Amino acid sequence: MRAGVFDSGVGGLSVVKSLLAHHLFDEIIYYGDTARVPYGVKDQNTIIRYSLEALEFFKNFEIDVLICACNSVSAYAIPELRQKAPFPVFGVIEPGAIAVKNKIADKKAPILILGTKATIASQKYQTLLKNFGYENLSALAPTLFVPIVEEGLLDGPVLEQTMKHYFDPVDIDPKGIILGCTHFPLIQKPIQNYFPKATLIHSGEAIVEHLQASLQMPKTKTNTSLKLFSSENPENLKRIANQWLGLKP
Amino acid sequence: MRAGVFDSGVGGLSVVKSLLAHHLFDEIIYYGDTARVPYGVKDQNTIIRYSLEALEFFKNFEIDVLICACNSVSAYAIPELRQKAPFPVFGVIEPGAIAVKNKIADKKAPILILGTKATIASQKYQTLLKNFGYENLSALAPTLFVPIVEEGLLDGPVLEQTMKHYFDPVDIDPKGIILGCTHFPLIQKPIQNYFPKATLIHSGEAIVEHLQASLQMPKTKTNTSLKLFSSENPENLKRIANQWLGLKP
């Protein structure tokens, strides 16, 4: 099977990492809109327009399924993409909410949703989790985590001070934390250290479970081939793929 | 006189602030490409392409002069803009370098150039200052300053820690510092506190001096009218204009 993975930039490689680890696909076509990244600070209409343009890109490939790794795309553009796409389209928000349901039985447990401004404002995670019966939800957009990860500051005093800025005012003791942005899994460990009792929900792992359940996919035995594309010079994407995934595509 | 001011996003309002303070124009048409901001992490061809698209926007207005407030645009797209524009086009880099020449006589004085990755990589400031005879140049891209300013953290521990991260390794004692990004004037005071002996060069002030010298412009006596446009919903731009410029356009 051949999957398309769409992301606003390089962050979706954290989802690709999970897809590779579970050998779900024979081939992955990755497209990052690096010329217009980030989406998470942009408005709904812009995100939908850019997502539909990316769909045109994927129509050039015979993909069996399109995975939107970007939470901001998943928050706003899934209905439009599904309407226009000749293949199934999956976002990461529904899988993330289902992962909460699978992992945290107590519906009174405090859940902290972390995401971009766009994702949090969409209320998509909040609505799904409320429908699943969760009563104690907090949501937070730690906007600076994205550029900090892109700057490669995955630990150290800048990240620590920024975590204090966003997390010190959090007045719940979360039992579950949704890492609702592709960049956040790269600082999963310091987030876990800050909230040692919380179960962290990772979009990549959540979408793998969701795809396995939805498509009843067998693991492929061979390695997945990965092709990387971006809307500007792909050198930066390739460099980060090398760094994050430990491979030279 | 009517000026167009082009920026990648909201940052160019710091240049508008200087233009307003000096009453250079009767009207300013501001266009921020907020749907694709930031430019400073993008590659040269992307920046040129987006700048030429912005030029088409300005052709709808009878402007007398186009000012590129964005340093990344000024670094890469000025020749192409000048070739295609039916009006004079000014960037902020040449004015910034000229301001150094006017303010710092000692050619051996250490000069620190701060800018986005794109601006620093272009070597435009470095080349101009070398041509003016300055020998002791350092350049630095404190990438996180842009999102920190956009997050409104204009002072406090996150900014302090990030300044330490970028500035502690600087091994010169700069006599002049170029604030080579529209966002940096908003944290001019903490930068000045870190380098108390340095003269800070601000793109907005530099372009005002340059325009006055180049166009021999009289001050207009009336207030400047400001019209704000952006490539997505302009609410955010208007909110920040209100905050930064202290006006409700």
Separation in Å, CA of B121 to nearest CA in chain A:
14
**Whole-number average pLDDT of chain A:** 94
Tell which residue, A53, A35, A144, A235, has the closest CA to residue B33.
A35
Sign of CA dihedral B140, B144, B148, B154: negative
Which structural domain range is residue A191 located in?
A: 93-203
Range in A124-128, A189-193, A227-231, B213-217 with the lowest mean pLDDT: B213-217
Chain A residues bordering chain B (beta-carbon distance below 8 Å): 34-37, 41-43, 45-46, 143-144, 146-148, 150-151, 153, 156-158, 160-162, 164-165, 231-233, 236
Place of tokens 């001070």: A161
Same domain, B186 and B113: yes
* Average pLDDT of the residues in A146-151: 92
* Average pLDDT of the residues in A61-79: 97
Range in A135-139, A239-243, B17-21, B221-225 with the lowest mean pLDDT: B221-225
> Which pLDDT score, from 0 to 100, does residue B215 have?
83
* Average pLDDT of the residues in A203-220: 87
Same domain, A143 and A222: no
Where are the alpha helices (H) located in B43-139, listed in sequence order?
A: 44-58, 71-76, 78-84, 93-103, 117-122, 124-131
CA distances from B24 to A205, B2, B3, B62, B225 (A): 57, 9, 9, 17, 11
| Residues A212-223 pLDDT 10s | 988 887 766 678
CB-nearest to A158 from B165, B232, B233 is B165
A170 CB burial (10 A radius; 0-12, 13-18, 19+): middle
pLDDT at A205 over 70: yes
Sign of CA dihedral B174, B176, B179, B184: positive
Percentage of chain A beyond pLDDT 70 is 98
Percentage of chain B beyond pLDDT 90 is 85
> Which pLDDT score, from 0 to 100, does residue A135 have?
96
Residues from chain B contacting residue A153 (CB–CB below 8 Å): 144, 165
Same domain, B62 and B153: no
Same domain, B120 and B59: no
Residue B68 catalytic? no
| Residue B243 amino acid letter | Q
Same domain, B34 and B106: no
Q: How confident is the model at residue A236 (pLDDT cuts 50, 70, 90)?
A: confident
Same domain, A77 and A97: no
> Which pLDDT score, from 0 to 100, does residue B220 have?
65
Same domain, A163 and A234: no
CB-nearest to B158 from A34, A146, A165 is A165
Q: Which residues contact A148 (CB under 8 A, 6 or more apart)?
A: A158, A159, A162, A187, B144
- Distance (Å, rounded) from C-alpha A193 to C-alpha A159? 12
CB-nearest to B43 from A151, A156, A232 is A232
Q: How many domains, chain A?
A: 2
Q: How confident is the model at residue A233 (pLDDT cuts 50, 70, 90)?
A: confident
Q: How confident is the model at residue A240 (pLDDT cuts 50, 70, 90)?
A: confident
CB B227 within 8 A of CB B30: yes
Sign of CA dihedral A59, A64, A67, A73: positive
| Residues B34-88 pLDDT 10s | 999 999 989 999 999 999 999 999 999 999 999 999 999 999 999 999 999 999 9
Separation in Å, CA of B76 to nearest CA in chain A:
15
CATH number of the domain residue A70 falls in: 3.40.50.1860
Answer whether A144 sits within 8 Å of B143, measured CB to CB.
no
Same domain, A112 and A163: yes
pLDDT: is B11 or B215 the higher one?
A: B11
